[in-house]
Structures are given as structure tokens and as C-alpha cells.
A and B are shown apart, each in its own frame.
Chain A
């Protein structure tokens, strides 16, 4: 099966068109925000402030093979080129002497940057953005909790107060109130409660479609779409969430997958191994995911992008601002902090009936040991693949392919042995 999903092509085309429109709109100036992936973009959506997601831009730069050029720009200013590259690559666009040569015509200069104070270096990257002329940095606190309920995905949509904890929610709600006032003052725009409620409702609708799509794929045998089609189909609408386009794109994605399932369309009709990819996208080699279909009948049926859209975003409640706080106060925990991350990956692996997990572990691994441990304790084989998802310097592409191929060979052999 080689035909690309229409929803993937449509999402990519929309993103290009939207970006071109953004550049045209900002040609004579105007408010524009660069925001972190885990930050509450819904506030900007509500106020009509255009934004680009930092890590999305990083993935574009990397996919266009420009990551090393950008890292060189950081290095030339005495800044680290080997620290938080996924977040730091867009910063280099502020130092680019030839911005027009950048992918898609280049990132417009933001007037506002928004990020959480996570990690030790992430905040520094945005400090440097904030030192650029005409750019204001609004930092958000990132809190942690002592005790967390394990099966968070059951609580998050409606019982998020219990899942996240009231202290964290009080803090994040206060932070968001501050952000709104900051944006009102700096942009002169209005934050309408009515509009905000609409945005929140659209986001929930969108994620409900993603949840249905995730469940369809989990149940389907064989897998109806390649994972590198599902990534743009879910993530581009994710960066536009809170719009009717994004909600409708999520529904179109679902309908197309449902149609494929009904018609028996498969990545590999002779699917022999169902695989899960844990970790960020391997942006410098997105073909990687399809390299083992022919040789091993192995299909990646899972990546975190659709799954976290399905489980990580839904928040209902009478207080939309507190619900938004609940969406982001513990967002990274869902993916990276045990027990939340570890138990969720096991749940998803079982839900999708995977035969094995390829676990991308960057040097700066977060909770990786516990994820691998939990999966193996559940009887699911895991291959840890050690590489960075945007910085290809340390990765031996052929070596990664060989490592996965050899491991898949052992899975196939063990299947044969089990089959007698």
C-alpha cells in the first residue's frame, strides 16, 4: 500500500498555505507568538494571536536537512549546540544572516514567546529569545507532585482535579490569568470568555475524533495506515486546535481510517509483526518507520502523537480556564514521568496488540528505564534504540536499521519457536 492518506496530504497542504498566509499577514508587522508544544496555545487561539509551535518548526527545519546549519549558528555565538536541540533549533533562526533561505521562506520574527520553566536549559533558550529586540518572553511555572494516581487516562477527561492535584491547578490557573492580562496589555486584544468556551469545546471535539481513530487502529488487523501518515494527520490539526478546520480535519482523518478498515486496506496484507514506536519522531529519517515492512512484515502501528491526542488532551468541566490548566499542568508527566508514562505505554501496547516496542532513548532520557521495565514486565519485548530525534550527528543510520532488523529477526524466530 503506497497511496498516501488524503488527510495527511490535506493537512500538509493546509499547513503550507496557512504558513504562507501568516508570512504575508506579518509582512508589515503584527503580533506573532512562538510557543512551546506543551504550552496552553488555546489562550492565543481565543485572542486571535497567530502562533507557531517551537518544536513543529524544529521538525520542519530538520526534515529539510537544515538542522546542522542552525546548530552551527548557535555554536558561532558561543551557545551549546548539543543541548535541547529539539527546542533550540528555532532560536537559531533569530541569528540567521540569510533568513529567506530557511524552509518555507523562514520563520517570522515573533513578538511573544511562551514556554514552561521545565528542565535546566529549556528556559534559557527562551531567555535568549526574550533578549531579541521586540520579543517578550512569558515564562510559565512547571510544578511537580508527590503522589499521583496511576491510571491517569481514566481520570483526566472529567476528574482532572484529582489526577493533577489542586495545588498545581491553583498555580497554573494563576499563571494563565497572568498570561491573559499580559497579552491584553501587550497586544490590545480581547480575551472573550464566550470565544474561549468555543475554543475549548472545539478542542475536545477534535480529541474525541482522535480517540475514535486511535481505537480503530488499535483494533484493526492488519494495520490500515503507515505511522508516518498518521503523524501529520494528527499533529498538524493539533497545532491548529481550537479551529473548525482542525476539528473537521480530525474527523476526516477518522473517516478515512474507518473507510480503510472497512475495505480491508492494509499497510501490509501479510502483516506479521505489530510494532510500537516510543519516543519523539525520528525527524531526520521519517522513512525509517517503513523500512521493515518488506523485509520482516513488520508495521509500526503506534506512535505517541495520535495516542496522546486521544488520551492526553480531553478536559471537560464548568471552569474552562481551570480545565485548560489541567491540560498542561502535568502534560510532560503523561509521556515521560513514571508511573504515569510507564503504565500508559503498557496500556497502549496491550490495546494495540503489539508484538514488540522500539523505544527511542536519547542521551537525555526521561524515565526510559521504567518504561522499558514496565513493558518487559508485561511480557512485551523492547528494543532500546539510542539516538537523538533531530540531531543526526550521533546516529549511524545504517546501524540503526541493522539493529532494528536484527532484533526483528529474533522476534520472528521466537514466534516460530512458540508456534512449534
Chain B
């Protein structure tokens, strides 16, 4: 395996790599403008859950009816599983993230002995209205001030412009890397791509960029992959467990529409200004919990065609509410053979899902 890919796959969602002396700020959700953290000299670390570990504490504080990924993140925060964090930015990318913020805010108030890091809500909203943009800009000004406080220095316009350019560069590289799995035969699996994207959210932007550039240079050495080309919709995936389970069944995930995959990097900021940054995050998407059924279906239909997908799979994690409401319209929009895997366990497929997939691809071949 080429060196860059090996390194990226090894990093995964870790906080594994040494960060150096700069403070680490954890963040939840793709609606957090990491540009401010980079501009302030702080290290952003996107937090992921762990399907293989119990999330008892998260269940206790959030209830068992909420997305288990958020319950797992809260558990890991309470266990200090991410290493020392100097702050925490929580976006409102879905209901579970918002409730996670409320729980953290309240735990800091009523149970200070839990020693949770300071937490700030990033309330990016997504209706396509000027009033919404004005609100997002007000929220970004708050984030900028909070990040400045954490960093002990003001985030100036020049540093922000540099950070915007750096993260746009990273997004452009991710889009190029993603094209490797669109090729026939594909040069990356969906599992690999998901892990590569995750690694870039756990690394300083400069280091992530360098590794992606190296990966693209080494693309000719990548092995070839075949399988039933699937576009994956539904819940976001904070670990590769489900991707690996699907690809073990002969599927090849050539694209997805969640914000830990293609939706993370499709939209650049463009101009190096705070106004452009606000618009970038407001209009990023369309994610399942924040977009209309119509917008989501139109995107899924278009993206599945662009990927040359042969089938549509919607994986909806138990207690992740939005995807099941989207599915009927997405199915119609793609016109592809499709299957809804509803109410799935966190990080896994249940027996019913396995049967449904067999029906979808009885003759698929695994060549890996």
C-alpha cells in the first residue's frame, strides 16, 4: 500500500498524532467553522463516537431515544477519551448535537466535578434566507471571540483569510481524492475514503494537505476495486464499521451524502472573508437532518448519477430520525434499485439488513 494512504488509514479518527504545544479544541459536527481555530493557532479535532464501547453515561444524561453516536461522544468526553481538550465547539448540525450541547452546558453548571472543557454552541442555520445569513454572521462573530479567548489572542482578518485558503485547499484535495473511487475500476474503497476524510479532521490542516498531495502522487500505485457500485445515503458515519460491513458483502461505496464524506468537502468558501465563510456553512449540505426532502432527493439523485452508482442504499441508524423521512423521495429521484436499512444498530448491520442487501446484489462479485 502506498505510504500516504497507509499513514492516513492508520490515523483514522484518532487524536493519535502528537499535536505539539498548541491547545486542542474538540468539535462536534461539520457546521463548526474550523477556519477560526486554525487562524487562532489552535488544533481542531472532530469528535467521533465508538460503537464498540458502551455509552452508559451518555444514555443516562441524554436518554436512550437519541442518536447513539451523540451518546457515545458524551460518554467519551466524560471519560476524557479524547485526551486533554482546551475547549469544545458543538454545532447544531442535528438535534442530537444540539441536545449534546445542552447536556454539556448543564453538566458544567450542576456537576462541575466532572471537569468538562468549556463549551460553545455554533448555531449555524440553513434556510436559504438573508435573515438566516445575518444570524449566522452574528453567531460567527461570537465563535471568533470565544476562540480568541481560548487562544489568548485576537483572530485577525489576515490570519482568517489564510485559514480559509488552507481549508479550501484541503477540500479541493479531498474532492480529487474522492474521484479515485469514482473510477472504473475504483482505486479507493468507500471504507478507505471515509477513513481518509476522518483523518483530515483529526490532523492540522497543513499536515492533512501534505498527506493528500502525497496520496494523489502515489495514486498510480493504488490497487483496483470492483463491486456493485452503491451510493450510500442516510445517517452519517463517524467510524468505518458500517462501510466495511457493506463492502464485505460485495458492495463498493462510490459516493455518499453525509457530512463525514462527500458533503464535507464539496463546497468551498471561495472568497477569504467572514461573509463568504458564513454563506459557505449556511449553504453547505444538504444533510438529512437540515435539508428539505425535496432538496435532499434532488441532490441524492444528481450525486448518485455523477458517481455512476448502480444501486442506492439508505442506512438509517436507530434514533437518527431524518433519513427514513427522506428515503421515499430519494428512491424516486435516483430511479436505482434501492434498499432502506432502517433502525440499524450503531456501527453495525442487523440480520434484516444483511438479508435485504443479499436481495439487492445476489450476483455481486468481491474483487479486492
Residue ranges of A at the interface with B (Cβ–Cβ < 8 Å): 77-80, 83-84, 117-121, 123-125, 127-128, 131, 139, 141-146, 167-168, 170-171, 174-175, 178, 337-339, 342, 361-370, 373-374, 377
Q: Are B99 and A84 in contact (CB under 8 A)?
A: no
Question: Would you mind naming 11 contact pairs between A and B with Cβ atoms under 8 Å apart?
Answer: A77-B328, A80-B324, A119-B95, A120-B94, A125-B325, A141-B127, A141-B131, A143-B123, A175-B131, A370-B103, A370-B106
CA distance A366 to B62 in the complex (A): 8
What are the residues of chain B within 8 A of A171 when measuring CB–CB?
125, 131-132, 134-135
B83 interface contact, C-beta 8 A: no
Chain A residue nearest in CB terms to B293: A127
Q: Are A363 and B131 in contact (CB under 8 A)?
A: no
Shortest 4 CB-CB distances between A and B: which pairs?
Answer: A174-B131, A363-B65, A124-B325, A365-B63
CB distance from B106 to the nearest CB of A (A): 4
B301-321 to A contact mask, C-beta < 8 Å, 1/0? 000000000000000000111
Q: Are A361 and B63 in contact (CB under 8 A)?
A: yes
CA distance A174 to B102 in the complex (A): 26
Residue ranges of B at the interface with A (Cβ–Cβ < 8 Å): 60-66, 92, 94-95, 98-99, 101-103, 105-106, 109-110, 120-121, 123, 125-127, 129-132, 134-135, 138-139, 142, 288-290, 292-294, 319-322, 324-328, 342
What are the residues of chain B within 8 A of A365 when measuring CB–CB?
63, 65-66
With A119-B321, A120-B320, A369-B62 in contact, is A167–B132 under 8 Å at CB? Answer: no
What are the residues of chain A within 8 A of B320 when measuring CB–CB?
120
Q: Are A120 and B322 in contact (CB under 8 A)?
A: yes
CA distance A119 to B321 in the complex (A): 9
Q: Are A370 and B63 in contact (CB under 8 A)?
A: no
CB distance from B139 to the nearest CB of A (A): 7
CA distance A188 to B325 in the complex (A): 33
CB distance from B257 to the nearest CB of A (A): 15
CB distance from A228 to the nearest CB of B (A): 26
What are the residues of chain A within 8 A of B105 when measuring CB–CB?
146, 338
What are the residues of chain A within 8 A of B289 when measuring CB–CB?
120
What are the residues of chain B within 8 A of A377 when measuring CB–CB?
110
| CB-contact partner of B325 in A117, A121, A374, under 8 A | A121
What are the residues of chain A within 8 A of B125 when measuring CB–CB?
117, 141-143, 171
With A141-B127, A146-B142, A363-B65 in contact, is A174–B134 under 8 Å at CB? Answer: yes
| CB-contact partner of B135 in A80, A143, A338, A369, under 8 A | A143
Q: Are B65 and A144 in contact (CB under 8 A)?
A: no
Q: Are A139 and B127 in contact (CB under 8 A)?
A: yes
Q: Are A123 and B292 in contact (CB under 8 A)?
A: yes
Q: Are B65 and A342 in contact (CB under 8 A)?
A: no
CA distance A77 to B127 in the complex (A): 27
CA distance A143 to B134 in the complex (A): 12
Q: Are B292 and A369 in contact (CB under 8 A)?
A: no
CA distance A145 to B106 in the complex (A): 13
Q: Are B294 and A78 in contact (CB under 8 A)?
A: no
Chain B residue nearest in CB terms to A117: B127
Q: Are B328 and A170 in contact (CB under 8 A)?
A: no
CA distance A363 to B321 in the complex (A): 12
With A119-B95, A141-B127, A337-B102 in contact, is A78–B328 under 8 Å at CB? Answer: yes
| CB-contact partner of B95 in A120, A127, A146, A342, under 8 A | A120
What are the residues of chain B within 8 A of A139 when measuring CB–CB?
127
Q: Are A170 and B135 in contact (CB under 8 A)?
A: yes
Residue among B64, B65, B129, B325 facing the most chain A CB atoms (10 A cut-off): B325
With A167-B139, A363-B65 in contact, is A79–B131 under 8 Å at CB? Answer: no
CB distance from B228 to the nearest CB of A (A): 23
Q: Are B61 and A369 in contact (CB under 8 A)?
A: yes
Q: Are B65 and A373 in contact (CB under 8 A)?
A: no
Q: Are B120 and A146 in contact (CB under 8 A)?
A: yes
| CB-contact partner of A342 in B106, B120, B131, under 8 A | B106
CA distance A374 to B109 in the complex (A): 12
CB distance from B341 to the nearest CB of A (A): 14
CA distance A219 to B95 in the complex (A): 38
CB distance from A282 to the nearest CB of B (A): 18
What are the residues of chain B within 8 A of A124 when measuring CB–CB?
292-293, 322, 325-326
With A79-B328, A120-B289, A368-B63 in contact, is A338–B102 under 8 Å at CB? Answer: yes
CB distance from A198 to the nearest CB of B (A): 27
What are the residues of chain A within 8 A of B62 when measuring CB–CB?
369
What are the residues of chain A within 8 A of B322 when measuring CB–CB?
120-121, 124
CB distance from A248 to the nearest CB of B (A): 37
CB distance from B128 to the nearest CB of A (A): 10
| CB-contact partner of B132 in A77, A141, A368, A369, under 8 A | A141
What are the residues of chain B within 8 A of A141 when measuring CB–CB?
125, 127, 129, 131-132, 135
CA distance A362 to B321 in the complex (A): 15
CB distance from A155 to the nearest CB of B (A): 18
Q: Are A83 and B127 in contact (CB under 8 A)?
A: no
User: A120-B95, A363-B64 known; 13 other A-B pairs, CB under 8 Å?
Assistant: A117-B126, A117-B127, A117-B290, A124-B326, A125-B325, A142-B125, A144-B92, A171-B135, A175-B131, A338-B103, A363-B65, A365-B65, A367-B102
CB distance from A84 to the nearest CB of B (A): 7
With A79-B325, A146-B142 in contact, is A373–B110 under 8 Å at CB? Answer: yes
Residue among A80, A339, A363, A377 facing the most chain B CB atoms (10 A cut-off): A80
CA distance A174 to B135 in the complex (A): 10
CB distance from B161 to the nearest CB of A (A): 25
With A139-B127, A363-B64 in contact, is A127–B142 under 8 Å at CB? Answer: no
CA distance A187 to B6 in the complex (A): 62
Q: Are A178 and B129 in contact (CB under 8 A)?
A: yes
What are the residues of chain A within 8 A of B61 when measuring CB–CB?
369-370
What are the residues of chain A within 8 A of B288 when measuring CB–CB?
120
Q: Are B324 and A83 in contact (CB under 8 A)?
A: yes
CB distance from B218 to the nearest CB of A (A): 40
Chain A residue nearest in CB terms to B59: A369
What are the residues of chain B within 8 A of A175 when measuring CB–CB?
129, 131
Q: Are B109 and A339 in contact (CB under 8 A)?
A: yes
CA distance A170 to B134 in the complex (A): 9
CB distance from A379 to the nearest CB of B (A): 15
What are the residues of chain A within 8 A of B110 when measuring CB–CB?
339, 370, 373-374, 377
What are the residues of chain B within 8 A of A125 when measuring CB–CB?
325
CA distance A300 to B66 in the complex (A): 29
CA distance A245 to B288 in the complex (A): 43
CA distance A418 to B320 in the complex (A): 46
Chain A residue nearest in CB terms to B125: A141
With A79-B328, A342-B106, A370-B106 in contact, is A127–B294 under 8 Å at CB? Answer: yes
CA distance A125 to B290 in the complex (A): 13
Chain B residue nearest in CB terms to A369: B61
Q: Are B106 and A83 in contact (CB under 8 A)?
A: no
Chain A residue nearest in CB terms to B137: A167
Chain B residue nearest in CB terms to A338: B106
CA distance A367 to B138 in the complex (A): 27
Q: Are A146 and B64 in contact (CB under 8 A)?
A: no
Q: Are A78 and B327 in contact (CB under 8 A)?
A: yes
CB distance from A416 to the nearest CB of B (A): 32
